[in-house]
A and B are shown apart, each in its own frame.
Chain A
Amino acid sequence: RKEVEQDPGPFNVPEGATVAFNCTYSNSASQSFFWYRQDCRKEPKLLMSVYSSGNEDGRFTAQLNRASQYISLLIRDSKLSDSATYLCVVKGGFQKLVFGTGTRLLVSP
């Protein structure tokens, strides 16, 4: 079993739609969680950290469920520019970051 698992997608949604991604992690000792965005042939860039109480940044909401060991990312009012791959990243033991395979999002007009 992979340490961090994501549905690879692609998720095809129309502009304006709300879409949610989940990510599960296997190491219960994991300390921190992040969502990164990666555009095609580009480097990953931090989208947002995920805090225990949940956090929101504009149209993006991230939540953490430690009991079930998953994190989620909700995107409201999808824009064409949201099309990208969203990487779930978990910091586990020894401060090592583990990346999921990513979930691909395609927003169409």
Chain B
Amino acid sequence: EADIYQTPRYLVIGTGKKITLECSQTMGHDKMYWYQQDPGMELHLIHYSYGVNSTEKGDLSSESTVSRIRTEHFPLTLESARPSHTSQYLCASSGLGGGRQGGVNEKLFFGSGTQLSVL
């Protein structure tokens, strides 16, 4: 089983609130990712990081921001939540850990996700 954790599991919040979705992994993975997924739809990469102090925007434009101050922690923040942000947010990590580069068959491990509903 993968050791990657997301909190909260469910979040219902009003428009305009600032929220932070937490993601932590204890595998020492260098790479971490945030995906957004609507019901019955594919996963869309919104942010990724290849290591501490590295963050990049993904393929899907997102109003969220991320930070990577520690290897194990990759929080996602929405400064002002809107109903259009309602979705499931999945955090993932990959790598061999210990700062080593992963190979081409490096596997992705997902957290349980945060289901966000903005009213």
Q: A: which residues have CB within 8 A of B?
A: 8, 31-32, 34, 36, 41-46, 49, 87, 89, 91, 95-97, 99-102
- B78 at interface (Cβ–Cβ under 8 A)? no
Instruction: Across the interface, name the chain B residue whose C-beta is closest to A49.
Output: B105
Query: Across the interface, do A91 and B104 meet the contact criterion of CB distance under 8 Å?
Result: yes
Q: With both chains docked as a complex, state the minimum distance between the C-beta of A101 and any C-beta of chain B, in angstroms.
A: 4
| B-side contacts of A42, CB under 8 Å | 112-113
Sample 7 A-B pairs with CB under 8 A, ordered by A number.
A32-B104, A42-B112, A43-B112, A44-B108, A97-B108, A99-B42, A102-B42
Query: Across the interface, do A44 and B110 meet the contact criterion of CB distance under 8 Å?
Result: yes
Query: Across the interface, do A46 and B107 meet the contact criterion of CB distance under 8 Å?
Result: yes
Query: Across the interface, do A101 and B41 meet the contact criterion of CB distance under 8 Å?
Result: yes
Among B57-77, those with CB < 8 Å from A are: 59
Instruction: Across the interface, name the chain B residue whose C-beta is closest to A96.
Output: B45
Q: With both chains docked as a complex, state the minimum distance between the C-beta of B16 and any C-beta of chain A, in angstroms.
A: 27
| B-side contacts of A99, CB under 8 Å | 35, 42-43
Query: Across the interface, do A100 and B42 meet the contact criterion of CB distance under 8 Å?
Result: yes
A43 CA / B108 CA spacing, docked (Å): 11
| A-side contacts of B42, CB under 8 Å | 87, 99-102
A99 CA / B41 CA spacing, docked (Å): 10
User: Given A96-B45, A100-B42, A101-B41, A45–B110 Cβ distance below 8 Å?
Assistant: yes
Q: With both chains docked as a complex, state the minimum distance between the C-beta of B77 and any C-beta of chain A, in angstroms.
A: 21
| A-side contacts of B33, CB under 8 Å | 97
Instruction: Across the interface, name the chain A residue whose C-beta is closest to B1.
Output: A45
Q: With both chains docked as a complex, state the minimum distance between the C-beta of A105 and any C-beta of chain B, in angstroms.
A: 14
| B-side contacts of A49, CB under 8 Å | 105, 107
Q: With both chains docked as a complex, state the minimum distance between the C-beta of B14 and any C-beta of chain A, in angstroms.
A: 23
| B-side contacts of A102, CB under 8 Å | 42
Q: With both chains docked as a complex, state the minimum distance between the C-beta of A35 and any C-beta of chain B, in angstroms.
A: 12
